[in-house]
Structure 1
Amino acid sequence: MNASIFSELYCPFPSQINKYVDVLEDNALEWVLRFKLLADESSYHRFRKSKFFLLSAGAFPECEFEELTVVNDWVTWLFIWDDQCDMSDLGKKPELVEFFHNRFLAILKGAELTSNDIPISYALGNIRQRILQKGTKKWFDYFVNAVENYFDGCILEATNRAQGIVPNVDIYTKIHMLSGAMESSMEFIEFCNHLIIPDFVRANDIVRTLTNMTNKIVCWCNDIFSASREMASGDVHNLVLVLHYQQGLSLEEAMKRAVEMHNQEVQAMINLESSLPSFGKELDTELNKYISGLHSWISGNLDWSFRSGRYQNVEKLELLKL
């Protein structure tokens, strides 16, 4: 597949970077080493090349340092666990994935950690503790619900792998909007910017649609960059590969079609924003900051994808100590 096609991805939103980007990397490395989240030296080098801190710094350009470290550790936690689900034997064992997810949810909901828990569970407990020091209980409930949706998506993917199912585009997109964990990651727009978005604004059809469109755009962008990686690992959960297998397109044609779908969704999002209603001066100010946060996720993710070495790694992973 021609890598030059990446430059055809449409993103009219400005690129920004958080002022704490230079110190975030060391902070992130200290955190993963403290909780023993890297299985071996290969995992260590893979982590350094992935540069997850650039994603967090680009997606949350206005976030203060303490909140930024929380969201960066959450993003890091997601990628480390996601690799276990996507690129190791665990990803074909939906019952085992569900077992771990049930324990993770219990920890997020306040269960005490025990000597039987694994390092990644302790890391999750640390994230929960720090979130609750800064975020409201109501916002945290939204976050936990979004994490539960992510876990559901991972189980659906594991079930497909176990049964050898290649989903169609519509079903795949719905699954990936769960398993991509963007719902939980976008929740941090409120957390990092100290916003309070009322329930009736969240429930507004246009606001909800714009959030879902951002989810889809970021997931499809990641698929376009990671197609070779997923193909090498034998995973079909990728928009390019689903188009290839289900619609009989060549890989190059499937890549071009995926880029077209991404770009059309970005333009549709821009068009829809002009239809946003007014909720009053104060709420409009909050909502504008939220919409800017959606834009930052799209541009920050694209910028990170060009600079990260994550999608150049195709080797099968060793499991963490589970």
Structure 2
Amino acid sequence: MDSVGRALLPGHVLRAADQGRAPFPLGPKGLGTSAARIGRPSPSPASEPSRGSGVPALYCPGPVRVDEPLGAEVNERLLAWVRRVGIFPGQLDRVRACDYGRYAMLIHPDCDDPDRLLLAAQCMAALFAVDDYYCDDERTGSDTALVGNRLTLAQTALDPAYLVGSWGYQEQLEQTLTSDPVLVALRSYIDRVAGFATPAQVGRVRHETVAMFVAMNGEAGWRTTQTTPAVWEYLAARQVNSFLPCMTLIDVIGGYELPATLYAHPPVRRATMLAASASIVLNDLYSMAKESEPGIGDGGLPDVIAAERGCTTREAVHLSADYHDRLVHSFEAAHKELTATIPSPELWRYLDGLHAWLGGNHEWHATTGRYATSA
């Protein structure tokens, strides 16, 4: 990496157009032509209303790459891993219908390697298992009184605790970590991250995931106290409890590294969090019908808006869609500004990756079986 990629070069402004932005460099496994198409963000037309979901048209980029055979290959590899680690027992057909392999293919269009894409699918499956079994779905054993304890152990699965002495504490911890399939999946996932990422990238993945666990615990407090948060409070928490931990894999799966100084740079952080918020507000809209079923009751932005404003659910859905669109517009404006002012090919590629991630995320939500209702 040249010196431009390592530092922000204070006071130096260089327009991206003057750099002659080239297509993404080849990753370690090589990329197909689909990756080259994402060199610049495409215009973001408002999408057509979703297929039978009741979600209004949203302003969102379309998917950059749709390669169904690649998605199917990743999905089959994921199912083998799910069987091995033991999450979602007896639900392999449901996991197949969720199609996390297709999700990985859609959100990482600069990678054609199914082994690297499997990492994104494992991230989705492991974190959705945390959500289902620990936080939201009483039908699978979640209990709000236990959320904090369970997420503390989940943190340990991602970031090992080192216990010393001859009293058997390390062995007792290991027994717990190997007896709970959710913890087994998390540890298997982070071990695979370490196989592709630098130590700094692994640390970033851990940090963003544990921060999500903190927000999950806070949301459990709302359910325990039967409190409906203010809209601003919900949105602030949801920014962290979003797809942000999955987005941290953008450069890992792409085969490059966004320098830590750039990832943590406040304007870059703002762009990342805008994209993360957009991803989860979209999720709230698509998951609303399923989460209204008995035993889940997680709610979402439309429910919080309806409670605060005293409006109808339909009105709250459209207000939520409008908020999503504002987030995407704000992200795209930040994307344009950062690309024009910071001369870093790694940053340009990361920002393009966030843009592509939003498009793939929308396509997956519109087609996955995860949010199919029992009705």
Both proteins in one fold, TM over 0.5: yes
Aligned with residue 152 of structure 2, among 102, 110, 116: 102
Contact kept? 1:167, 1:242, Cα under 8 Å:
yes
Contact kept? 2:74, 2:115, Cα under 8 Å:
no
Matched, 1:230 2:291: yes
> CA offsets, 1:243-285, max 9 Å, x none?
11111110111111111111122122222323215333xx2x1
What is the root-mean-square deviation in Å for CA atoms of aligned residues?
A: 2.2
- Where structure 2 has 5 or more consecutive residues not aligned to the other structure, the ranges are 1-49, 162-169
**CA–CA separation in structure 1 for the residues paired with 2:334 and 2:96:** 38
User: What is aligned with 1:158?
Assistant: 220
Measured after TM superposition, the shift of residue 7 of structure 1 is 5.0
**CA–CA separation in structure 1 for the residues paired with 2:298 and 2:116:** 35
Instruction: Write the mapping of 1:73-112 to structure 2, written as runs, cut at 5 A.
Output: 73-84=122-133, 85-88=135-138, 91-94=142-145, 96-111=146-161
Flag as ranges the 4+ runs of structure 1 deviating above 6 A.
none
Change (3 A) 1:24 1:14: closer
User: What is aligned with 2:89?
Assistant: 39
- Bigger shift: 251-260 or 2-11? 2-11
The total of aligned residue pairs comes to: 307
**CA–CA separation in structure 2 for the residues paired with 1:193 and 1:293:** 9
How high is the TM-score relative to the length of structure 2? 0.76
User: What is aligned with 2:263?
Assistant: 202
Measured after TM superposition, the shift of residue 195 of structure 1 is 2.5
Q: Which has the higher helix share?
A: 1
Q: Secondary structure at the match of 2:331?
A: helix
Q: Secondary structure at the match of 1:20?
A: helix
**CA–CA separation in structure 1 for the residues paired with 2:264 and 2:155:** 25
Measured after TM superposition, the shift of residue 203 of structure 1 is 2.8
Aligned with residue 66 of structure 2, among 12, 17, 31: 17
Matched, 1:304 2:364: yes
Greater RCO between the two (CA within 8 Å, min separation 6)? 1
Larger radius of gyration: 2
Contact kept? 1:15, 1:296, Cα under 8 Å:
yes
Instruction: Write the mapping of 1:51-90 to structure 2, written as runs, cut at 5 A.
Output: 51-63=99-111, 64-84=113-133, 85-88=135-138
**CA–CA separation in structure 2 for the residues paired with 1:207 and 1:86:** 31
- Bigger shift: 23-32 or 101-110? 101-110
- Where structure 1 has 5 or more consecutive residues not aligned to the other structure, the ranges are 316-322
**CA–CA separation in structure 1 for the residues paired with 2:186 and 2:208:** 15
How high is the TM-score relative to the length of structure 1? 0.88
> CA offsets, 1:174-218, max 9 Å, x none?
2222222x2211110121112222233223332111101101111
Measured after TM superposition, the shift of residue 126 of structure 1 is 1.5
**CA–CA separation in structure 1 for the residues paired with 2:355 and 2:244:** 14
Contact kept? 1:46, 1:313, Cα under 8 Å:
no
Q: Which amino acid aligns with 2:199?
A: K
Q: What is the percentage of aligned positions where both structures have the same residue?
A: 23
Measured after TM superposition, the shift of residue 294 of structure 1 is 0.6
Measured after TM superposition, the shift of residue 232 of structure 1 is 2.2
User: What is aligned with 2:207?
Assistant: 145
Contact kept? 1:67, 1:192, Cα under 8 Å:
yes
